[in-house]
Amino acid sequence: DGGITQSPKYLFRKEGQNVTLSCEQNLNHDAMYWYRQDPGQGLRLIYYSQIVNDFQKGDIAEGYSVSREKKESFPLTVTSAQKNPTAFYLCASFSGKVADTQYFGPGTRLTVL
């Protein structure tokens, strides 16, 4: 089955700790994205990558970091500098074709204790 997987589904973190969220896709898509979703605020773009070893900041990149060493993988690290990290995090990918759009993974719920 082709798709996007995110792990873990639920993640708990103590204040001051960094955590890394996993995103893997086997769709052979060039582009990958990370979003944050908070109640009543829709999806906000954190980082995106159009190609391996390259990525750009989105609208709310402060306190987050990413890497893109492989086409299939785009992990997101939530650092201790992120002031309000409790949220639902969504990963997406995109083929780059004109008639196509983004497809999403199942999400990771991060809670800071």
Partner 1 sequence: QKEVEQDPGPLSVPEGAIVSLNCTYSNSAFQYFMWYRQYSRKGPELLMYTYSSGNKEDGRFTAQVDKSSKYISLFIRDSQPSDSATYLCAMSSAGGTSYGKLTFGQGTILTVHP
Q: Residue 52 interacts with partner 1 (CB under 8 A)?
A: no
| Residue 81 per-residue DSSP state | T
Q: Residue 2 interacts with partner 1 (CB under 8 A)?
A: no
Q: Residue 48 interacts with partner 1 (CB under 8 A)?
A: yes
Q: Residue 75 interacts with partner 1 (CB under 8 A)?
A: no
- Supply the minimum distance, in Å, between the C-beta of residue 31 and partner 1: 6
Determine whether 72 is exposed, middle or buried from the number of CB atoms within 10 Å of its CB (0-12, 13-18, 19+): middle
Closest CA to 20 of 88, 98, 75: 75
- Using the rule CB under 8 A, which residue among 45, 52, 60, 61 binds partner 1? 45
Q: Residue 43 interacts with partner 1 (CB under 8 A)?
A: yes
Closest CA to 13 of 60, 91, 88, 80: 80
DSSP bridge pairs for 31: 94
Which positions lie near partner 1, rule CB under 8 A?
4, 6, 31, 33, 40-43, 45, 48, 50, 88, 90, 94, 96, 98-107, 109
